Structure 1
Amino acid sequence: MPPINEYITYVQLLDDAYRHWTGESLPAPQALTGLARLHWLHAQAPYSLLAHGTEDDPCFFYANEQALACFNYPRSEFLGMPSRFSASPLDRAMRQSLLEQVTANGIAHGYSGYRVDRGGHAFMIHEGKVWTLIDRHGEHRGQAALFWPDEESIGRVD
C-alpha cells in the first residue's frame, strides 16, 4: 500500500483539477483546511472519488475509501484495474460516451447510471461529475470522477 503522502498528492491533483473546471473545491466541511481537508476527502468523504490514467485502456490509480466501499474491492485489487471494468458490459457504451464528452468539454455534470462491484452486482451512482485531470504544469493526467452512493446523501458533507 502506498504511503498516505501519495494519496494526499493524488487528492490534491483531483481537487486542483476540479477547481480548474468548476471554480470550486471538492465538497468538504468548511472548517477543514490544508492536510486535514485532503485527508478527510480520502478517508471520510461520503462520496466516491476515483481517477484513472491516460493509458490506451485507462487503469485506476486512485480511489478514496468510499469508492472502495461502493465497488467492494480491496485497494490492492482496485488500483491498476482497467476502469472500464467499473461498468457492466451492458453499461460500457454509455460510460464511454460520458468519457468522450469529458474529453471534448473538460467536465460533465449530473451523471447517474449503473456500475458493477467486485461480485458483479449492479449499483446506482448519483449526481456524478467526471473531469479531466490537469496537473500544475498543464499536463493531462487522466480523468477523475465524483459520485454519491445514494440520493439521500447528495451534497451532505457535514
Structure 2
Amino acid sequence: MGDGWEPVDAEDPEFAALLVDSHLRVVGRPLVPGPPPGPELARWLYRETPVALLAHRPGADPRFCYANRAAQRHFGYDWAEFVGLPSRLSAADVDRAERARLLSDVARDGFSDDYRGLRVAKSGSQFWIENATVWNLVDAEGRLHGQAAAIRSVSPA
C-alpha cells in the first residue's frame, strides 16, 4: 500500500480503466451504464458522465488524486484545487467521524453501496451526496491503489 501520494492525469486511460475495472471486480456491476470503449473512456469519465467520481490514494491523511468535472461542480473546486486536497475536507468537522467510519468499513468490506452523507463545498455550503458507492481501488493483481466514490445524486442540505 504505502503512503506515497501521486496525482493522476485527468484523462489517464490507465486510471480510467482502474476505476471501471475495480468497480466491476469489487462491487460486481458496471460503474456507469454504456461507457464508450477504448481510448474515449478516460475523456468521457472525466468530462461527460453525470456521475461524480472522486478518488484518493491510501495514506494516514489521504489526498484526492482524481475528481471528474461532475465532482468539481458539486464541490466547487477546480482540478488544481481538488487534486492534492486532503479528502477529509470534503466533510465538515462534525461529519468527519461518520465519514471515517464509512472509509474504515469500505477498507474492511471492499465497498459500501447506496450511501448518503453530508458533504461541504469549497464555499462552505453543505449538501447531501446520495446513491453513492464507495469502493477500494484494487487492480487485477490485488494491489490497493486507494478508494473511490461514485456519487449519483446530490441534494441541498
Describe the superposition over 1:62-88 as per-residue Cα deviations: whole angstroms up to 9, x where unpaired: 111100111100111110111000000
Poorly superposed stretches of 4+, deviation over 3 Å: 1-5
Q: Which runs of 5+ in 2 are unaligned?
A: 1-6
In structure 1, C-alpha distance between the alignment counterparts of 2:120 and 2:9, rounded to whole Å: 28
The TM-score, its normalising length taken from structure 2, stands at 0.87
**1:135 offset after TM fit, Å?**
1.9
Task: Say whether residues 1:116 and 2:120 are aligned partners.
Answer: yes
**1:34 offset after TM fit, Å?**
2.0
Describe the superposition over 1:21-44 as per-residue Cα deviations: whole angstroms up to 9, x where unpaired: 1232211336x3222233222211
**1:27/1:148 Cα in 2 relative to 1: closer, same or farther (>3 Å)?**
same
**Aligned length in residues:** 149
Task: Say whether residues 1:44 and 2:55 are aligned partners.
Answer: no
Q: Which runs of 5+ in 1 are unaligned?
A: 152-158
The TM-score, its normalising length taken from structure 1, stands at 0.86
**In structure 2, what residue type is equivalent to 1:25?**
P
**1:137 offset after TM fit, Å?**
2.8
What residue in structure 2 maps to residue 154 of structure 1? none
**In structure 1, what residue type is equivalent to 2:22?**
A
Task: Say whether residues 1:136 and 2:149 are aligned partners.
Answer: no
Task: Say whether residues 1:88 and 2:89 are aligned partners.
Answer: no
In structure 2, C-alpha distance between the alignment counterparts of 1:2 and 1:140, rounded to whole Å: 15
Percent identity, aligned pairs only? 36
What residue in structure 1 maps to residue 69 of structure 2? 65
Q: Is the 8 A contact 1:28 1:45 kept in 2?
A: no
**1:33/1:60 Cα in 2 relative to 1: closer, same or farther (>3 Å)?**
same
Pick the structure with more helix per residue.
1
Q: Is the 8 A contact 1:28 1:37 kept in 2?
A: no
